[in-house]
Amino acid sequence: MYQIPPWHCHKCSPRPWENRVVGDARATKTTAAELAAFETATRDLVGLALRSVEQLEVSLPQFRLLLVLHEQGRSTSTQCAQALSVAGSSVTRLADRLHASGHLVRGAEPANRSVVTLELTDAGRRVVNQVSNNRRRDLRRVLDRLQPAERAACATALDRLHVLLADTTLGNAYSPFPL
């Protein structure tokens, strides 16, 4: 299963909004303008994520597999398929291309040689690190233009939104998506 790094996990990380009331503590209906702002921000952030991958030699689905392996370490094809919410045959095709390009290596479980394992190579780790660095650089360029109080308020609201999405009755539908 795709593992959330501890610094991203709402169960492990500090929650700066706890013990504080931000605005009116009563729940209210979301306005159309608020909803539109979040939809726009979602598109903007997804666009940033996609552009960070486009600059490199792998496709988005290939990058997602590399990211899962970066987070989990050596994993079986089945574990990768579960983390990506795709069929095992999709992981096989992605792994074929990434193996041919030198981004991952295939192996087998010692106790059961029929179980295929996948592991990043140095080239695969470089791609994941480069994409992460590109994203941080692009985000920093925008965030640096905000006032410190605006940045802090955005970060607090986004942390809270992450927790609310993770705690929804839809379960894993809102768990962090390897992107």
pLDDT at 169 over 60: no
Between 174 and 57, the more confident residue is: 57
Question: pLDDT tens digits for 68-78?
Answer: 999 999 999 99
CB within 8 A of 3, min separation 6: which ones?
71, 72
Backbone angles phi, psi at 10, to 5 degrees: -65, -20
Quick one: pLDDT at residue 163? Answer: 85
Quick one: pLDDT at residue 162? Answer: 84
Question: Within 13 A of 169's CA, how many CA atoms are on the CB side?
Answer: 0
* Contact of 72 with 79, CB cutoff 8 Å: yes
Secondary structure of the chain in HEC code, one letter for each residue: CCCCCHHHCCCCCCCCCCCCCCCCCCCCCCCHHHHHHHHHHHHHHHHHHHHHHHCCCCCHHHHHHHHHHHHHCCEEHHHHHHHHCCCHHHHHHHHHHHHHCCCEEEEECCCCCCCEEEEECHHHHHHHHHHHHHHHHHHHHHHCCCCHHHHHHHHHHHHHHHHHHHCCCCHHHHCCCCC
Question: pLDDT tens digits for 12-43?
Answer: 444 444 444 444 456 789 999 999 999 999 99
CATH fold of 48-144, please? Arc Repressor Mutant, subunit A (1.10.10)
- Bridge partners (DSSP) of residue 116 are 108
Quick one: pLDDT at residue 40? Answer: 94
* Average pLDDT value for residue range 33-62: 90
pLDDT at 96 over 90: yes
Structure tokens at 88: 């095992």
pTM exceeds 0.75 for this model: no
Quick one: pLDDT at residue 5? Answer: 41
pLDDT bucket at 8, cuts 50 / 70 / 90? very low
Quick one: pLDDT at residue 15? Answer: 46
Write down the mean pLDDT value for the chain: 83
